[in-house]
């Protein structure tokens, strides 16, 4: 019996009135592209208009917290405020402690960012020990052993924006 993973949503949320920002790192771009695609497709299936999905990029995951804050500010200034933002990054363990420090600091910064931007910040950071783990969580490993986690992040974004929006 599978026990891990996201449970069924309590209801289907209508995303037709929300604007979503996706800001993604450019490291490990093959995996990033699959995650972003999964998030967009799931949000479109929940009624989010593709013109209301704004995509921005930063060099790497470490830049996600600051980039997200400035992205939210910029959209507000443009008169196109976001209702929710999904930072997406893929960290893969190398031979140094770089992975641990970026994973930990970026995770805490993204969690704390929610208060500063007063909106949901969905946690789209994959922290993987191997490339194979990352490919599996983007749904693009050879055996398609897992679903694309980007889809979960898109669904979470719609639910949080609709349920707890301002
Ligand atoms: O090192 N590995 C990774 C990485 N390093 C770059 C870092 O995020 C930042 O862009 C630079 O340090 C410059 O500030 N960024 C990732 O998204 N994934 C990795 O796996």
Q: What is the pLDDT of residues 59-108, one digit of tens each?
A: 999 999 999 999 999 999 999 999 999 999 999 999 999 999 999 999 99
The response to whether residue 27 sits with its C-beta less than 6 Å from ligand 1 reads yes
- Is the separation of the CB atoms in 153 and 39 below 8 Å? yes
Largest Cα span, the chain: 49
The response to whether residue 61 sits with its C-beta less than 6 Å from ligand 1 reads yes
Q: Whose CA is nearest to atom 3 of ligand 1?
A: 91
Q: Whose CA is nearest to atom 9 of ligand 1?
A: 60
Active site residues: 98
- 33 pLDDT higher than 90: yes
pLDDT confidence bin for 150, thresholds 50/70/90 = very high
On whether ipTM exceeds 0.85, the answer is yes
Q: Whose CA is nearest to atom 15 of ligand 1?
A: 60
Tokens found for residue 22: 């996706």
Q: How many CB atoms sit inside 10 A of residue 60's CB?
A: 16
The response to whether residue 71 sits with its C-beta less than 6 Å from ligand 1 reads no
- Ligand 1 mean position to 127 CA, how many Å? 12
Rounded to an integer, the average pLDDT of 42-53 is: 98
The predicted model scores a pTM of: 0.96
The response to whether residue 81 sits with its C-beta less than 6 Å from ligand 1 reads no
Q: How many CA atoms lie within 13 A of 87 on its CB side?
A: 31
- 2 pLDDT higher than 80: no
Query: At 46, phi and psi to the nearest 5?
Result: -100, 15
């Amino acid at each position: 019996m599978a026990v891990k993973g996201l449970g069924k949503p309590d209801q289907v949320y209508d995303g037709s009135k929300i604007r979503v920002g996706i800001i993604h790192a450019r490291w490990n771009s093959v995996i990033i592209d699959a995650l972003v695609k999964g998030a967009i497709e799931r949000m479109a299936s929940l009624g989010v208009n593709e013109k209301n999905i704004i995509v921005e990029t930063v060099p790497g995951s470490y830049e996600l917290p600051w980039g997200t804050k400035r992205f939210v500010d910029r959209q507000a200034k443009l008169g196109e405020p976001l209702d929710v933002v999904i930072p997406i990054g893929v960290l893969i363990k190398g031979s140094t402690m770089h992975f641990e420090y970026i994973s930990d600091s970026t995770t805490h910064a993204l969690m704390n960012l929610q208060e500063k931007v007063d909106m949901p910040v969905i946690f789209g950071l994959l922290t993987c020990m191997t490339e194979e783990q990352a490919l599996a969580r983007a749904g693009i490993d050879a055996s398609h052993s897992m679903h694309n986690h980007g889809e979960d992040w898109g669904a979470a974004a719609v639910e949080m924006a609709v349920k707890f929006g301002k």
